[in-house]
Amino acid sequence: MAKVKLKAIIFGAPGSGKGTYASRLQAKLGVEVIATGDIFRELLKEDSELGRKVKVYVEKGLLVPDEIVVEVLKQRLSKIPKGKGFILDGYPRTLEQAKILEGITKIDVILLLDVLDWIIIERLSTRRICRNCGTVYNIRFLKPKVEGICDKCGGTLYQRSDDNPEVIKKRLQVYQEQTRPLLEYFKAKKAPFVASSTPTLDTPPELIVDKIIAELKKLKLA
């Protein structure tokens, strides 16, 4: 598996499959996936100075301030082997974060997942997550081998309280409001976009991933 020095951000609404596609691209391209949500979960388990800083905000239900998020991001980026690329998932979320990111690293391409709202609502309504390791399943088309049990670690699976149609619609609306300015920002910066659409509920992830890689090759980024 060849290493690719690709520096990408993956954008997509909640339930668009960012984690699924990023992990498959990781396997095929040999890049790192930097998912801020996963990093925070790992930090919360550690007894480190940074972990304790994050814990203060998470336990109060507050957003972690940008300066701490940036500290976490810089620390994670510093651990990537020289010459190896990455895909950012979950950062930036705001224009301010995008501007801060620009001072940390150059971004080669934006990966944009375009999924119809009704598909997302159906996906999230049937999503299940491992309480222990965070692996995501779907009781319709990505079932665990044993119902309610994670294949990877044996943890129990649960459904998020906000994975219901009404809450999902609100989350999609918030995503559109927050993300549109970000996409315009990167377009103004002349960042290349690789957009992929998911036309049906049962479109195989591999099909989308192969299309993304084909477009990256055209840009000489894969």
93 given a catalytic annotation: yes
Q: DSSP of 71-129, one letter per residue?
A: HHHHHHHHTSPTT--EEEES---SHHHHHHHHHH----EEEEEEE-HHHHHHHHHTEEE
| 133-139: long-range contacts, CB 8 A cutoff, minimum separation 24 | 134/38, 134/41, 136/19, 136/20
Q: Which helix (H) or strand (E) holds 212?
A: helix 205-218
Which residue of the set 24, 76, 123, 127 is catalytic? 127
Region for 168 from its dihedrals, namely left if φ exceeds 0, alpha if ψ lies in -120 to 50, beta otherwise: alpha
User: Is 24 in the active site?
Assistant: no
Set 160, 169, 170, 218: catalytic member: 160
Q: Which residue out of 18, 24, 123, 128 is catalytically annotated?
A: 18
Q: Give catalytic status of residue 140 as yes or no.
A: no
The Cα-based distances of 83 to 2, 26, 31, 94 in angstroms read: 11, 15, 10, 28
Determine whether 160 is an active site residue.
yes
Which residues carry out catalysis?
Answer: 18, 93, 127, 160, 171
